[in-house]
Amino acid sequence: MDTTGQRELFPEPGGEGEGERRSLPLSGDASLQAALGTFERHMQDEGFSINTVKAFASDIRLLGRYLGIGTPVGEIGTKNLNDFLHWLTDERGVPCSPKSYARRVTTLKVFFGWLHESGVLSQDPSAAVIQQSVSSPLPDVPRLADVDKALSVTEAWRAGGRDRKPDARPHLLLNLLLQTGIKKGEAMAVVPNHIDDSDRDHPFLYVRYA
């Protein structure tokens, strides 16, 4: 009997968690496809971000493309995972950046570590997979001359011309990014009530998150 007070991964019918979305029992004979479906529900229950759930699921599907989506998870060993990673970088024919490679290693460790911790696998085949730290290079800072050239182009679009209707949106977006430094996703989430322009000389932008 578990005395830690931690909620069981697969609650018994009628027990704690009844009525909530529950993971289906798995065994080592379960296919990658079946395990992936349960893994996605597990990530959602644990509060993984939507982007993380999508990225991890995509990585496991890619593993399924390499090994066969019907491969039993209990038949996947460390060599299979290392061969998969080698295929990603040297044989697939599609660029795999260091950042994407590192995330996919993380996906394997989270997925197979979860299968091991939940008792589906007696051993974790990803434990011996080497994970290399990757740091993203700092972006290049645009020169003032480059900024002026870009602004001159968007200002021309804003003014319009003989064969073009005025369009202020590129100029607005470029100025927003230059003056705030916010990310693409943050810019796409901006709505009018995120902007406080009560003081027109010193407006504020509130970047909000869920």
Whole-angstrom distance, CA of residue 166 vs CA of residue 16: 61
Whole-angstrom distance, CA of residue 153 vs CA of residue 25: 59
Q: State pTM to two decimals.
A: 0.58
| Residue 184 confidence (pLDDT) above 60 | yes
pLDDT digits (tens, 9 = 90+) for 138-150: 778 889 999 999 9
Whole-angstrom distance, CA of residue 17 vs CA of residue 11: 6
pLDDT digits (tens, 9 = 90+) for 102-153: 999 999 999 999 999 999 999 999 999 987 766 667 778 889 999 999 999 9
Amino acid at 76: I
82, β-bridge pairs: none
The alpha-helical segments, DSSP class H, found in the chain are: 32-45, 50-67, 78-86, 98-117, 144-159, 169-180, 184-188
pLDDT digits (tens, 9 = 90+) for 77-100: 999 999 999 999 888 888 888 889
